[in-house]
Chain A
Amino acid sequence: MAIVTLLPRLDSGTVKALTDQYLKEGIPDDFISNDTVKYASSGGSRITDHTLRSIRNSVLAVCTKYGFPNGFSKSDRGYLESELAAVFSKAFSGSTADALRNDCWAFIATVLLPDVVSWRFSGIKRERFEGGIRNAFQRIYMRSISLDRGPSHDDRWGLIRDLSEDALVQITERPSIGANPVIARNVAEGWLRAIKLYGSNSMESRMRNAIIKLRINNVMQLFPFLSSEEQKKIVDNVFKS
């Protein structure tokens, strides 16, 4: 059995205390170990500080390409996040269960990479540090699970790069869509086909309608049970009109 790597967990009270401290004293520009972190009491080996620092360095290497610690251009969002998805997918491949937990991502944003969060979201916005779907990095990791085209694909993280932020939110913040990679990838690939057919102007409303229709259909039809041709047909249909 593979050894699970346990990730540090940070409770929401400590996130609040630390972000309050950052607001008063400024963001630290390095990873400083925090005594309040907890780990699962058993079931694996704790990640080392060396590995955490290595993850931090990998993230910094990507972010530096896109302007860190200076300005960030929103037009780089897709490129930045698709490259970070690759980093997180590799870094947490031995911690897939912990990486689904809010408190682990609260640690990564608040203790390991607070300077990157502040750079990416222009200041200290608490929801970007707290665990949850708005966490600066958890959202990217969840997208990497839902929208991974697979290691053999020559553009593995292209969906994260090419979909608009609005489309990604519609997929990954709807549990009935985003929690099922089969459905999520189909919708994302369908969005790329739809934008070519219908143009970008109508895509926000088209995507919202498509998601509503698909969620209704999923109550009646077991989408993952269908063949890939049938799945594609259903998705293309919901993007019509």
Chain B
Amino acid sequence: MTNIAFPYLSIPDNLITKSHWIQAGSTSEAKTLIDNWDYQKDVRLIRTVRLSFSEIAEHLSIPEDELRLKICIQYGTGQGRLPRLWLGITSYDVDSTNQEVQPELFISGSKLSSRVFIETSVVLAAVPGNPGPLSPVNFGNIVWNESFDIKLEPDDSLFPVEAISFNSMFRGKLFQYAPWYLQFEPGSPQRDISNAVRLYINTDNSDFFESFIKKDSHIIQSVMASVIGQIVYYTIANNSFVDDKTQYGENTVGSYVLYWVEQYFPQSSIRNIRDMTELLDPGAFWATIYANMDKGLY
């Protein structure tokens, strides 16, 4: 179940028994990355979902003989954290005499790109005649849901990283001897972050470079804090940047900046943080970013 507070009674997890999604013909849980997948390999998945119908009726405060539920499976695909395209939906009836279903998905490999997303939802399939005051009452009300996704191909790096010789690439630049350089063009929060950012690591600085590729935790913490700090700092410095998630699409610089702000500076508005960086305590801004890198929150 996701962390959604529905404005009506919903089904607690303990009243639904479900197996993992498994690949048809297998007995083990579908992995988050299918090895050697390509477009010629179709994806067949199956699971079992069992509802404790009487207890659910009681919990939803709907008379059992009036309760009609369906289990709906939506599936989608595409790069990123959310599907680019929802491909379809199937549904299964459940009632007091048929409390267990085995949803099965067959998706042609030629339709799939990078990931498969699957959402299992239990929805109200009829308007109850005598609901309780807090019962769900609308046809299609979601009373339980769960998301699952399978990576078909490794994602491209969030931050494109390139190891190069600064003596060759940036000869004569003021930062020729820097350990790393973040190429970032501020002012375009609508751009896809993988296009707007490129991190160059200086191979001429062999000690630093070796530590970086060995993923030394202090080095990674410093680099990521600098990268994320710069992106947040310069993006929010622009007064046209707004504190509104609906304005920035999936994987854009704007959506990531708002995500990081929410994670690292809970309950602070963009304006609060802008004031912090410009006037009040700029050191606290950077220290907070560094502190969160230590928690692995990037």
Minimum CB–CB distance for B34 against chain A, Å: 13
Residue of A97, A142, A221, A223 near B111 (CB, 8 A) is A97
Q: How does the 8 Å CB contact mask read for B24-44 relative to A, with 1 for contact and 0 for none?
A: 000000000000001111000
Residue of B114, B188, B246 near A215 (CB, 8 A) is B246
A2 close to B110 (CB less than 8 A) = yes
B195 close to A127 (CB less than 8 A) = yes
Residue of B110, B188, B250 near A96 (CB, 8 A) is B110
B190 close to A127 (CB less than 8 A) = yes
Cα of A85 to Cα of B191 in the assembled complex, Å: 22
Residue of A with least CB distance to B42: A1
Residues of B within 8 A of A224 (CB): 74, 86, 89
B192 close to A133 (CB less than 8 A) = yes
B246 close to A97 (CB less than 8 A) = no
Q: How does the 8 Å CB contact mask read for B204-238 relative to A, with 1 for contact and 0 for none?
A: 00000000000000000000000000000000000
How many chain-B residues does the 8 Å CB contact rule pick out?
52
A226 close to B40 (CB less than 8 A) = no
Minimum CB–CB distance for A5 against chain B, Å: 10
Minimum CB–CB distance for B118 against chain A, Å: 14
A226 close to B139 (CB less than 8 A) = yes
Beyond A130-B195, A179-B84, whether A222 also contacts B40 by CB under 8 A is: no
Tell me if B141 counts as interface (CB < 8 A to partner A): yes
Tell me if B54 counts as interface (CB < 8 A to partner A): no
Interface residues on A, range: 35 or more
Beyond A40-B38, A215-B246, A226-B139, whether A175 also contacts B111 by CB under 8 A is: no
B79 close to A134 (CB less than 8 A) = no
Tell me if A4 counts as interface (CB < 8 A to partner B): yes
B40 close to A43 (CB less than 8 A) = yes
Cα of A102 to Cα of B249 in the assembled complex, Å: 14
Residues of A within 8 A of B162 (CB): 13
A102 close to B192 (CB less than 8 A) = yes
Tell me if B138 counts as interface (CB < 8 A to partner A): yes
A181 close to B38 (CB less than 8 A) = no
Scan residues 25-43 of chain A and give those whose CB is less than 8 A from a CB of chain B.
40-43
Residues of B within 8 A of A126 (CB): 195
Tell me if A219 counts as interface (CB < 8 A to partner B): yes
Residues of B within 8 A of A100 (CB): 77-79, 84-85, 113-114
Beyond A43-B38, A43-B40, whether A222 also contacts B198 by CB under 8 A is: no
Cα of A219 to Cα of B6 in the assembled complex, Å: 8
A13 close to B198 (CB less than 8 A) = yes
Scan residues 132-154 of chain A and give those whose CB is less than 8 A from a CB of chain B.
132-134, 142, 145
Tell me if B83 counts as interface (CB < 8 A to partner A): yes
Tell me if A173 counts as interface (CB < 8 A to partner B): yes
Cβ-closest 10 pairs across A and B: A43-B38, A132-B192, A43-B39, A130-B195, A97-B113, A100-B113, A4-B39, A173-B249, A180-B86, A175-B250
- The residues of B with any CB-CB pair to A shorter than 8 Å are 4, 6-8, 38-41, 70, 72, 74, 76-80, 82-86, 89, 91, 108-114, 121, 123, 138-142, 156, 160, 162, 188, 190-192, 194-195, 198, 246, 249-252
A-B contact pairs, 9 of them (CB 8 A): A100-B85, A127-B191, A130-B195, A131-B195, A174-B249, A175-B82, A175-B249, A176-B82, A182-B86
